[in-house]
Amino acid sequence: MKSAVVLLSGGLDSATVLAIARHDGWECRALSVDYGQRHRAELDAAARVAASLGAAEHRVVPIDLTVFGGSALTDRAIDVPSEASPGIPVTYVPARNTIFLALALAYAEVTASDAIFIGVNAVDYSGYPDCRPQFLAAFAALANLATKRAVEGASIAIAAPIVDMTKADIVRRGIALGVDYSLTVSCYNADRAGRACGRCDACRFRRQGFAEAGIADPTRYQG
């Protein structure tokens, strides 16, 4: 059985990616990162999603990115915007996907996995630079030079199955694969119970996805 590491934030996109990988026959090891994010409820969501979609394993790596800050998600002094704005928003976390993929590469090497799945999306997204296909291609080139396994001839693929899909298509695909989106948390301002603010970028893209897909939104909102 093919083996993969799946980066699992606990949000809608990565849950769908895990479902796709499972459906395509991969044994999946889920990896979440406890990086000091504001919306820690997503880590509880990741555990629920990993269990519900049959991940063989779920590991959480602690790494304190508040040491660097520079983002509304890792510096409490910076507020999450409640309206869309031009350019890359302050919720961008410096080098986050580079760090996450590097950690996934370590996990993939110790488990002799053949692929890393990541739920980046470059359609209904916030313009983060490390969600773009050219970034993923560059990481794949790096990964195939970086490890002992690579030197020994094993190759590793970086799979981003939803990178070109609209949010509505992602929701439709996940529903078809049996994803229970009520388990997921996308909101940057989620409270401890995982209830969403309904106003941040992540909430807006998510809500719009359900609406355009014509599927009832199972998100629990605050207040």
Which listed residue (27, 47, 52, 60) binds a second copy by CB under 8 A? 60
Asked whether the beta carbons of 16 and 121 are under 8 A apart, the reply is no
**Minimum CB distance to a second copy, residue 149 (Å):** 8
C-alpha 183/C-alpha 77 separation (Å) is 29
Q: Give, as ranges, the residues between 64 and 93 that touch a second copy (CB under 8 A).
A: 64-65, 67-70, 88, 92-93
Which listed residue (72, 105, 162, 196) binds a second copy by CB under 8 A? 105
197 φ, ψ to 5°? -80, -30
Instruction: Give the torsion through C-alpha atoms of 132, 153, 108, 50, to 10 deg.
Output: 80
**What is the torsional sign of CA 127, 105, 2, 51?**
negative
Q: Is 61 in the site for a second copy (CB under 8 A)?
A: yes
Closer CB to a second copy, residue 52 or residue 98?
98
Query: Residue 87 carries which DSSP code?
Result: S
Q: Which residues bind a second copy (CB under 8 A)?
A: 59-65, 67-70, 88, 92-99, 101-103, 105-107, 109-110, 129-130, 132, 134-135, 138-139, 141-143, 145-148, 150-151
